[in-house]
């Protein structure tokens, strides 16, 4: 079961349920957001999937056509964007067999030559050693970063904008967990979505301490929200289109079979902080990736289109790249 949010020609919002065929999505009656559905499930103390199955509404809508018209929204939002927090983790995926082999050889060479490992390599090795703890235990902490609030979330089809000062605007194909904090301050997972975490890799490459700067960018996720559990092995494709042709394309993988951290461990290390358990808040948490066009020397340009596609998600996530016009240096004046 998957959910999508859309807007009609006259601006009315509505929620769709996709079971198999996205061209035959079921439109739910009298509800305009997944957030409202989730609150109702909490109030009634029922599971979200059970609530949706009983929710009235039989009209059928072609979600593919809505995608082509740019009328699908992010599959989860909050009425007050300041109460939606976007965060993520890195160095969480094993990567391809080639990448793993290369990394292991580098580890062995470093061990044999007694050359120090980079901080990134040290953190990755910690994840390999302790990123999948027994249930109820904390494992090794992952890398963690903050991206912004709901104001940085671009809808599927909407442009991911590079700030005028950015050195790069590159895709990061990922899975994101979507959460609502209940009235008792407990995080409740609503589901999962495809995501483009979108970062400035040139800035990050200058110095790893610039990671925080490189992540303060837009992002996108959706178009659909998977209510069911995430498969352990997610296989997808990340591609970049330029002038109607594929500029770059590569498979990407996710799911716990392809990660050095369990999802539970990533969630535990995010929600262990009390400030992330404020009742009513919504969280979008990116789980990381191992596939970047930047790693292969690709430099996306404004007008390029990022496309991320993976099963079991019913629809691909597409966003064009744009760049903001130059702006003056901010000047702070005394009050």
Q: What is the pLDDT of residues 18-39, one digit of tens each?
A: 999 999 999 999 999 999 999 9
- Are 283 and 84 in contact, with CB atoms under 8 Å apart? yes
pLDDT at 199: 97
Q: Could you tell me if 80 and 13 lie in one domain?
A: no
Please state, in angstroms and rounded to a whole number, the distance separating the CA atoms of residues 251 and 296: 13
Of 73, 94, 122, the last residue of a domain is 73
Q: What is the pLDDT of residues 180-198, one digit of tens each?
A: 999 999 999 999 999 999 9
Q: Which band of pLDDT confidence, cut at 50, 70 and 90, is reported for residue 108?
A: low
Q: What does DSSP say about strands 160-162 and 317-323: parallel, antiparallel, or unpaired?
A: parallel
Q: Residue 335 falls within a domain, yes or no?
A: no
Q: What is the pLDDT of residues 56-92, one digit of tens each?
A: 999 999 999 999 999 999 999 999 999 999 999 998 9
Q: What is the pLDDT of residues 287-334, one digit of tens each?
A: 999 999 999 999 999 999 999 999 999 999 999 999 999 999 999 999
Across 40-49, 95-104, 114-123, 149-158, least confident range: 95-104
Q: Could you tell me if 96 and 62 lie in one domain?
A: no
325: left (phi over 0), alpha (psi -120 to 50) or beta: beta
Q: Residue 15 falls within a domain, yes or no?
A: yes
H helical segments located in the chain: 34-44, 48-54, 63-68, 97-113, 119-130, 201-206, 211-215, 263-271
- Total structural domains within the chain: 2
H helical segments located in 170-297: 201-206, 211-215, 263-271
Q: Residue 334 falls within a domain, yes or no?
A: no
pLDDT at 60: 97
Residue among 124, 116, 115, 113 at smallest CA distance from 89: 124
Q: Residue 134 falls within a domain, yes or no?
A: yes
Q: Which band of pLDDT confidence, cut at 50, 70 and 90, is reported for residue 106?
A: very low
- Are 310 and 240 in contact, with CB atoms under 8 Å apart? no
- Are 34 and 3 in contact, with CB atoms under 8 Å apart? yes
Q: Indicate if the pLDDT at residue 100 is higher than 50.
A: no
Average pLDDT, the chain: 92
CA angle 41, 47, 51 (to 5 degrees): 65
The pTM assigned to this predicted structure is 0.92
Q: Which band of pLDDT confidence, cut at 50, 70 and 90, is reported for residue 115?
A: low
Q: What does DSSP say about strands 60-61 and 84-90: parallel, antiparallel, or unpaired?
A: unpaired
Q: Could you tell me if 88 and 13 lie in one domain?
A: no
The percentage of residues in the chain with a pLDDT greater than 90, rounded to a whole number, is 84
Beta bridge partners of 17: 3, 26
Q: Residue 328 falls within a domain, yes or no?
A: no
pLDDT at 273: 98
Q: What is the pLDDT of residues 274-284, one digit of tens each?
A: 999 999 999 99
Range of the domain at 48: 1-73
Q: Indicate if the pLDDT at residue 121 is higher than 90.
A: no
CATH number at residue 250: 3.90.850.10
Secondary structure of 172-186 in HEC code, one letter for each residue = CEEEEEEEEECCCCC
Of 73, 101, 128, the last residue of a domain is 73
Q: Indicate if the pLDDT at residue 96 is higher than 60.
A: no
Residues 6+ apart with CB under 8 A from 270: 87, 89, 144, 276, 283, 285
- Are 321 and 300 in contact, with CB atoms under 8 Å apart? yes
Of 13, 40, 73, the last residue of a domain is 73
């Amino acid at each position: 079961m998957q959910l999508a949010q859309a807007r009609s020609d006259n601006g009315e919002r509505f929620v769709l349920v996709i079971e198999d065929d996205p061209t035959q999505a079921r439109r739910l009656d009298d509800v305009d957001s997944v957030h409202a559905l989730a609150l109702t499930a909490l109030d009634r103390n029922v599971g979200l999937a059970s609530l949706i199955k009983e929710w009235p509404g039989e009209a059928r809508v072609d979600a593919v056509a809505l995608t082509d018209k740019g009328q699908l929204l992010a599959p989860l939002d909050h009425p007050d964007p300041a109460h939606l927090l976007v965060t993520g983790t890195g160095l969480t995926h094993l990567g391809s067999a080639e990448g793993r082999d290369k990394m292991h050889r580098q580890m062995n060479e470093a061990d044999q030559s007694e050359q120090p490992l980079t901080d990134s390599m040290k953190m990755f090795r910690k994840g390999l050693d302790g990123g999948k703890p027994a249930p109820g235990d904390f494992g090794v902490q992952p890398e963690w970063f903050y991206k912004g609030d709901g104001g940085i979330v671009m809808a599927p089809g909407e442009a991911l904008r590079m700030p005028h000062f950015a050195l790069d605007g590159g895709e990061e194909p990922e899975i994101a967990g979507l959460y609502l904090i209940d009235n008792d301050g407990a995080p409740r997972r609503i589901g999962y979505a495809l995501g483009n975490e979108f970062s400035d890799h040139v800035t990050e490459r200058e110095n790893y301490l610039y990671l925080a700067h490189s992540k303060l960018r837009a992002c996108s996720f959706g178009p659909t929200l998977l209510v069911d559990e995430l498969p352990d092995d997610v296989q997808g494709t990340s591609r970049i289109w330029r002038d109607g042709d594929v500029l770059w394309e590569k498979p990407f993988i996710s799911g716990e079979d392809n990660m050095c951290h369990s999802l539970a461990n990533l969630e535990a290390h995010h929600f262990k902080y009390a400030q992330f358990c404020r009742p009513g808040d919504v969280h979008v948490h990116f789980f990381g990736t191992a596939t970047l066009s930047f790693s292969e020397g690709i430099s996306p340009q404004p007008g390029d289109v990022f496309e991320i596609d993976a099963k079991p998600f019913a629809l691909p996530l597409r966003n064009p790249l744009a760049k903001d016009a130059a702006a003056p240096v901010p000047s702070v004046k005394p009050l």
